[in-house]
Amino acid sequence: MPCTIALAGNPNCGKTTLFNKLTGASQRVGNWPGVTIDRKTGKIRGADGAELVDTPGIYSLSPYSPEEIVTRNFLLEGNPDAVINIVDATNIERNLFLTLQILDTGIPTVVALNMMDTVRKNGGSVNAQKLSEKLGCPVIPISALKSEGVDELVKAAVAAAEGGLRPTGLPLGDGIERLVSSAEETISGKVPDEKKRWYAVKLVELDPTVSEALPEAAAKLKEECAELEKEYDDSMDSIVSDARYELIGTIVSDTVTRPVSEEHTDTVSDRIDRIVTHRIAGIPIFIGVLGAVFLGVIGFGDFVGIGTYLTDWLNGFIENPIGTSVEEWCADNDVSDPLTGLIMSAFIGGVGAVIGFLPQMLVLFLALCILEDIGYMARAAFVMDRVFRFFGLSGKSFIPVLVGTGCGVPGIMSTRTIESDRDRRITAMTVTFMPCGAKLPIIALIAGALFDNNGFVALFAYALGIVVILMSGIILKKWKSLAGSPAPFIMELPPYHLPSILNVIKGTLDRGWAFVKKAGTIILLASVFVWFLASYDGSFNYPGADATTDSILQSIGEVISIIFQPLGWEDHWELTVGSITGLIAKENLVGTLGTLFSFDEVSEAGEEYWAILATYITPAAGLAFLTFNLLCAPCFAAIGAMHRELGTWKSTGMAVAYQCMIAYAIASIVYVIGSFIDGTSPEISGIVIAVISVVALVYLLVSKDPFMTKAKAARREAVAQ
């Protein structure tokens, strides 16, 4: 029997692991209607016709964040036949808060009590049968990571979807229940009977969305609620929340057995956390972990990282035998010069130069997925909260930053987990300062051509991204529309566990496949376009190999390149054109240079490619080139995602302008400082721009926040009165 089952739960409760386990390779990823939050669906293995819908991880069904709104709307309006509510058994009190809200919706519910293996290992236990009786719905102990109890969970969920009992919700105390009963009478016939309790409880909580939808009922309850608020000296939403937690405490005390001995309560995760989340040592450890990852992937000095080794091999394979064979085939079959040039330059030189960096990205994605799956990335966000808060941002801003290291688009989309609208907008504007997977080819290109494959170039790139994000937190908070205190950081820290091979491989391949698709579509089209501009002159004649001397592209690049004189690379229009085409897709910069250099008879994308670039610019100018392209406007896809989050093209345009200006300013500073260190003479214009940039940035960073100052003055005046 076809049915739809929703999967709901708190963040970091094992929801993704369970979803992957239940659906396998049948997953489909799209967007929820009207929003850019990922919507994952899949067919449940072993359950004919049953579809599982993965809802965003949330802590409650209160409308505070886009994720909570999406989940709430799907449960109320999407009409799922049943809900699998996954609960972290190691933190059962916090997770059951969402469970009680789901039970109020009247949808047949099955509680998946996850991480029971960890509970047993720590010396505790949960009486699932008794907990089921208390909640009024099936409770299935499972370990999603080890596949324990998963088959039983599927059977229970399908049975619930095919005609399971609808939960009636749990009583929250006489005073609240009296108001709930009154609300149910008022809204009878106006909402579905099975969801009547949920709407009634929300009316009692004075939920703004429900109150607006049912104004008459809300007005009738207002006076009764006011009496209860006066009795408890608290707001109604807090009164209801306290009642839920009191009920949860009673349920847990009757069903959960805590570890008795100290050796059980002090878990391995606790002992590790005392080190990795230490107030002083936590940040150096985090930097060390990322540094080890990047050095291991890219290498340092004579040490060749595994990613670099594989990339070198693939680049060589693309050049020979693939490139050589294609070129010989074209010659043997009398293929025309323009078509041969298109194939060799746009396809082999352009797309091939980008695909050549795929192994390096896959190895890095693999390392980051492992860190995420074992639970360290959540600790990294916790550690960075202290840093981010000092600069006016919430620690939750670090989550999108981490996601953005894979791709800026989901990084921007994940800002929706931030409750504060101001923090969310600032984070969406700054996430792309972090090097994403598409920027890794640029980093590897500069590191290989100018710095002997030094892994510290990658470390510099990521450190630069974090520094600019923190600086922007201070600068952007001084804009009126973005002013305000950062939102509080609340996040569960899951226990450490061995990474799931399936999750790690799937996460790595998903990111890699997204890159390959982009290379096969956007980058290919851009490479063809660049090849055309580079191969034909203003009269649309095809000069052949000498096209770069008077091509359309050269004419455009020479006009624009004057802008980059203060950054040390204005004499080479190819670099300017590469930066412009990087707006289509950042990795397209490498593809563009591959296309252009091929007309200079460059037959390889590896060592010869780097040698030519090394003759174009100094190491200082190379770092400035890297800095500008890391920080300037992101690719078109990321700009589109930014527009979705900021709401208007005006705000998006201002964000892009800010990104380009900060990129130019910092690149000029990097160029001048690097030139003095390197012993070369920077351009006079570069020194002037760098000095102006330093003065402007210092002023923006140290000047008083006018809006925070006014807010403090207003608070002092209110206290005085």
CATH of the domain at 29: 3.40.50.300
Q: What is the pLDDT of residue 625?
A: 92
Specify whether the CB–CB gap between 623 and 458 falls below 8 A. Answer: no
707 lies in a domain?
no
Same domain (yes/no): 298, 376: yes
Give the number of other Cβ atoms within 10 Å of residue 41's Cβ.
Answer: 17
Q: What is the pLDDT of residue 64?
A: 64
Specify whether the CB–CB gap between 35 and 50 falls below 8 A. Answer: no
655 vs 154, 179, 279, 432, CA distance in Å?
A: 47, 48, 34, 11
DSSP-derived 3-state class of residue 487: coil
Instruction: Please report where in the chains the tokens 């000069």 appear, as a residue.
Output: 543
Same domain (yes/no): 83, 198: no
Same domain (yes/no): 232, 299: no
43 vs 25, 57, 101, 503, CA distance in Å?
A: 9, 20, 26, 18
716 lies in a domain?
no
- Distance, CA of 555 to CA of 557 (rounded, Å): 6
DSSP symbols for 336-377: -HHHHHIIIIIIIIIIHHHHTTHHHHHHHHHHHHHHHHHTHH
Same domain (yes/no): 491, 354: yes
Backbone angles phi, psi at 298, to 5 degrees: -95, -40
Q: Which two tokens stand for residue 553?
A: 């592209």
Same domain (yes/no): 211, 332: no
- Distance, CA of 182 to CA of 168 (rounded, Å): 16
Max Cα–Cα distance, the chain, nearest Å: 93
> Can you list the positions of beta strands (E) in 20-170?
28-31, 38-43, 50-54, 82-88, 109-114, 125-126, 139-141
Instruction: Please report where in the chains the tokens 């170039």 appear, as a residue.
Output: 457
Give the number of other Cβ atoms within 10 Å of residue 674's Cβ.
Answer: 20
Angle ∠(115,120,126) on CA atoms, nearest 5: 75
Number of domains making up the chain: 3
Instruction: Please report where in the chains the tokens 């990335």 appear, as a residue.
Output: 377
156 lies in a domain?
yes
- Which segments of the chain have a pLDDT < 50? 36, 262-264, 545-548, 599-607, 709-721
Residue ranges making up the domain that contains 438 = 286-702
Same domain (yes/no): 228, 320: no
Same domain (yes/no): 665, 605: yes
Same domain (yes/no): 297, 431: yes
Q: What is the pLDDT of residue 547?
A: 44
167 lies in a domain?
no
pTM greater than 0.85? no
Specify whether the CB–CB gap between 438 and 587 falls below 8 A. Answer: yes
Instruction: Please report where in the chains the tokens 């690097």 appear, as a residue.
Output: 674
User: CA 637, 643, 649, 654 torsion: positive or negative?
Assistant: negative
75 lies in a domain?
yes
- Distance, CA of 667 to CA of 694 (rounded, Å): 11
CATH number of the domain bearing residue 195: 1.10.287.1770
- Distance, CA of 17 to CA of 153 (rounded, Å): 14
- Distance, CA of 414 to CA of 408 (rounded, Å): 10
Same domain (yes/no): 452, 408: yes
Same domain (yes/no): 243, 333: no
210 vs 175, 207, 219, CA distance in Å?
A: 21, 6, 12
Give the number of other Cβ atoms within 10 Å of residue 505's Cβ.
Answer: 13
Select from 102, 131, 161 the last residue of a domain. Answer: 161
Select from 257, 276, 301 the last residue of a domain. Answer: 257
Q: What is the pLDDT of residue 543?
A: 66
Same domain (yes/no): 358, 304: yes
**Long-range contacts: 575-583, Cβ < 8 Å, 24+?**
575/616, 575/617, 575/625, 577/530, 577/553, 579/625, 579/628, 579/629, 579/632, 581/526, 581/530, 582/442, 582/629, 582/635, 583/633, 583/635, 583/636
262 lies in a domain?
no
Backbone angles phi, psi at 125, to 5 degrees: -160, 160
Backbone angles phi, psi at 548, to 5 degrees: -70, -15
273 lies in a domain?
no
Q: What is the pLDDT of residue 302?
A: 64
Same domain (yes/no): 339, 467: yes
461 lies in a domain?
yes
